[in-house]
Structure 1
Amino acid sequence: MAKPTKETIPTLLVKNIPREIVMGIEEALSVGSQRAYTAARGMDDGHLSSVVGQLRHFHMNESFQRALAVGDASPSPLRGNQIVTGRAGVFTLARFNIKEGIWINGRRSQTRRQMSMANAAIEQLVQPELFADYMPPSEAVAFFVACFAGSLHIQPESPVSIQIAVPDRHMQGWLFRESINAFIKRYDQKPVTMQDDLAMPKLKKNIGKQDKDGTSQ
């Protein structure tokens, strides 16, 4: 039988990705989105959504790359439509944008699907194998996902939410997905340690004995 592990996807993320990098990326993606919307102002409504989408890609890639550089996360260079990646601990970090609720769009990139193959090693933290022990991974992938409203009439200048997401190896499902606002709180959580209860209850002497008159002492 496989030995159980206390490791989880969230604890693995917290252990490898410093809080400062997560917070820096959250701010950077918001700033990049705002710059993209500002740059698109004045464009014809007929292709405004397409223009905003393209500008989001370039501006958010730039801001993401800078945040990785500030966090010493070894960012890849900016090259056209290529995915920008960084490194923190065992995790390769990347990003993409989606319309809120349409997570399947993340699979459109063949590069992202290839990157996700590294997560085979941590799938066991969600679906343990009966006869295989968990081995700490040397490689894994996490994405920062900016979720936008489906219409430019609703909050067009910034994401509705920014989430950190860890896909399965085929990028067909998510081993872990959580908003950055909720995830940041995990850094303040102290690990729970189990302590043996060494207290030994003692009964009072003579308890339950009765006097001759039948009253208890």
Structure 2
Amino acid sequence: MTTAQQRLHHALDALDRTARPGPAVGGCEHCYTAGQLAALAGPPALVPNGLLHSVAAKSPDHWTDFPTLYRRLAPRILRQLTTGTLAVDGPLVADRLVAAGWPDWHRAELVREVLDAWWPAALADPGADAAEVLGTLAVATGTVTPWLRTWAETPTATANRHLADTLDRWLAYGELPDLRLGFHRDLPVGPEVAAWITGLPPHRIGEDRRHWLELALRN
């Protein structure tokens, strides 16, 4: 296990220790049975994965007290999200975290530490989807700046491979220079990302990609 992965696991363990049963959960009775709503009020560790994934994705208007419910389930949602076992898109989870007002939660610093730890762990993981992780983190925090800074400061072979793959995706889909991140593509970051990429040392992305990038930015 790398140092980055260890940091992430420690952060997840710390957040796990905040998990507690909660008050009765009021929600859409067309979507959830009485038994499922009762399970959501119990220990978060006992909520079945299928139910957890459903709640992770459902819009806030399905719940009487969405922020409280999402805060209670966040330790499990974030553990599965950051370890690749959550059957919900990361940027959608980010939308839900924002809707639940996570920066105002009690012990919000533990959520922040999970997010901060996830990015270097993803950059060190050859199997990670760096583009999706970046979009998730940017939406959850409302900014792409610190995540780009960390990427620039991580000139490893794996981080560079992620950079090449992400840039290839953005170029293939014509997303630059008007890149927008998020499940609903509602976080405009194109100019900042374009300036960041062009400011990287040439070897980080290679001459061919730099050529195609320059063409994309001229259009």
TM range (shorter): under 0.3
Higher helix share: 2
Structure 1-normalised TM-score?
A: 0.26
Structure 2-normalised TM-score?
A: 0.25
Larger-Rg structure: 1
Higher strand share: 1
